[in-house]
A and B are shown apart, each in its own frame.
Chain A
């Protein structure tokens, strides 16, 4: 982590992109303070209050400190004026919008501030989710390979049988799906696991069934999964999944983008671990009697993970673009939440409203460019070795 930071800050462009990203993060964190229709601090008859948090807005203050942008992203201006063009000069006007308004009269500047929150949230969290899947599958296929995991086939059969039975009872027990999953599934997985071990031990010790071990071809399975993911275009699958879910929210979007972007991560982890597992220090650790999990987490993965930063920064920029594209097409999170993509999407109904295309677009461009630059700097560094 520290070395990655050093590599990035070695060049001017890297420092600049870190600054841009930091600026957007600050904007996202303090979005409510930057763009709000209530004053931050005000003095009224009750003394000094902060209407921005309290929610009460009496409108009669002795003095007040207003936020920079005096609109909320969701609120329609006091006088509804769709497609109002940006006005720099007449600040005295009560209906003043710095960057214009969108198709239902919401302020574009406030929309950009709240959009930065969505872009960063979806970009970062979906890649974290992809990392979780990618590292797990990459480790299974790279470190264990086709012959690394060996289980008794009775155990495997018992495990699959129990899983099917469990899913069956969850489906038909009449419980609410999420409750059933939380209470039933996680608890019963553990108890079933113990039951499976017991059953397979009893069967094999009775002597009727031979205790033969079969190896799980993890590498083969993961490779086929890669092929499956490669065959279908991401945007097509995303659109279909989001159309299937009745009320897609941010989390649906994060999970779907995450599920669709794990293959490059897993491929890289696999390739690195294939190299690492032949190293002498891994063999030494094995002989030393350390547990598999310990070797993987403490010795193998830390040495394989550095080049992942390249994929993470390119992945975040990719996820931001995908999210913006979806909102642009009007299929992302619900239209009440203003995102950069949805602002640009409202330009589609009126191409004369150039400000709707320009300002959010510049934001996406800057953020994506910064993440790409960081990725590029890291890639240059890691490719040397």
Chain B
């Protein structure tokens, strides 16, 4: 048994690692700028992206977050790319450097041009002529250089300092476009060692430090654990309640197979099975939370926000808000009941066809006795797996319920993070929810092997 658990845990590691890599790159390719978001959170974001103060703040924060480092352990780039391109932290500068590289390919000349551009823009900003430098921040081709130069020269004739800086800039431009460039290129692989963003992120991840939320600057770990405990509690309550109802339901229906209860009860369950969860919840909200359709329809309290103030702990808060949680839990229970109940019925019917039941009846035990003593225990075995596999889907499936009823769980957190582009939180949610799912499946498998001795310890 111990060997089985250890091997299963080891098999989890590569899967989790792949999920980590995928969510890291999901976060990277989303194009959200974590430094910029953090500047907004701290109230340091100025309106002018070219100003010296903004650049200073940006560089400081990006050093703090490590976004100046390379993305992964190695990278593959065309040979004319410098291996230090990632050290340019400001996105507009990095973009300009890349476009210049595509156009001219000589990194030394490009570097000197960008230095000249920087010193030119500093001189200009000292004189409060900001609009002039913006023109240069996206331009790379020879013809547009010349046309902008003409406009700028006309605007700065009365400032001798700027004229000198601009002359240097034009000289650097000229050197750039007079250089011959070849169109052929070959790949070169650069190794960055452990000083890369993925390594930094992953080491933090192992100690459950997911960094800060890009929206409110709060640590993600506390945000997620709070949401996770809500989702887990609600999911567990829904699964346990629905199982407790479904098992006697299914057993009774199969006990009197083809009886009235079996026929009509399970026709209704079959129909509920086809109702999407979000439609069911919407219908309950529309018809049973107000007295628009008669005085008796005002059964459930209307959807609102939760009081999260005084009481401590998730369970305490759930108990405190239980009147508002009745309807969401009710929807989840009914949805789950339709599935588990049908499975229980077919499981009992399946066991009833087994030879041991016929033997028991032939020996003279009554139908009731045989069903209770022999069939019930055996038919519960497949239900166990189904119930365990319901827990992860209850946590995930409650996304719609959480969004509809404003429950502060995982689904709602993911939904609001997506709406606010908080990719730091999204990747953390994906990793944690898959970790929890895998652990629940593992616990289920171990318990199943404890219950049913016939199961062999095969690992495939």
Contacts and interface: CB of A to CB of B under 8 A. Distances in A.
Given A224-B14, A351-B286, A244 B76 contact: no
A233 B396 contact: yes
A223 B11 CA distance: 11
Interface string B284-324: 01110110110000000001000000000000000000000
B418 interface: yes
A361 B275 CA distance: 9
Interface in A327-349: 328-329, 331, 344, 347-348
A174 B270 CA distance: 56
B279 A232 contact: no
Interface in B253-282: 270-271, 273-279, 282
A234 B279 CA distance: 19
Interface stretch (B129-137, B377-385, B425-433): B425-433
B276 to A, nearest CB: 5
Given A172-B185, A351-B290, A354-B286, A232 B19 contact: yes
A352 B292 contact: yes
Nearest to A353: B286
Contact of B426 (A235, A240, A364): A240
A348 B281 CA distance: 11
Q: Which label, helix, strand, loop or mixed, suits the secondary structure of the B interface?
A: helix
B429 A236 contact: yes
Given A228-B18, A369-B271, A351 B289 contact: yes
Interface in A232-263: 232-237, 239-240, 243-244
Interface in A140-168: 164-165, 168
A116 B123 CA distance: 63
B395 interface: yes
B415 A232 contact: no
B376 interface: no
A236 B430 contact: yes
Contact of A357 (B282, B415, B426): B282
B437 A231 contact: yes
Contacts of A331: 418
Interface size class of B (residues with CB under 8 A): 35 or more
Nearest to B285: A351
Given A228-B19, A243-B426, A365 B187 contact: no
A168 B397 CA distance: 40
A39 B399 CA distance: 44
A243 B418 contact: yes
Interface stretch (A195-203, A279-287, A317-325): A317-325
A239 B414 contact: yes
Contacts of B29: 244
A368 B279 CA distance: 12
A172 B276 contact: no
B441 interface: yes
Interface string B176-199: 000000000101000000000000
Interface of A: 164-165, 168, 172, 174, 223-224, 227-228, 230-237, 239-240, 243-244, 317, 321, 324-325, 328-329, 331, 344, 347-348, 351-352, 354, 357-358, 361, 364-365, 368-369, 372, 376
A-B pairs with the 8 shortest C-beta distances? A233-B396, A369-B274, A231-B434, A361-B279, A243-B418, A368-B274, A357-B282, A321-B276
28 contacts: A224-B14, A224-B15, A227-B15, A231-B16, A232-B433, A232-B434, A235-B396, A235-B411, A236-B399, A236-B429, A239-B399, A239-B415, A239-B418, A240-B414, A244-B26, A321-B276, A324-B279, A325-B277, A329-B400, A329-B415, A331-B418, A344-B279, A351-B286, A364-B276, A365-B279, A368-B274, A369-B274, A372-B270
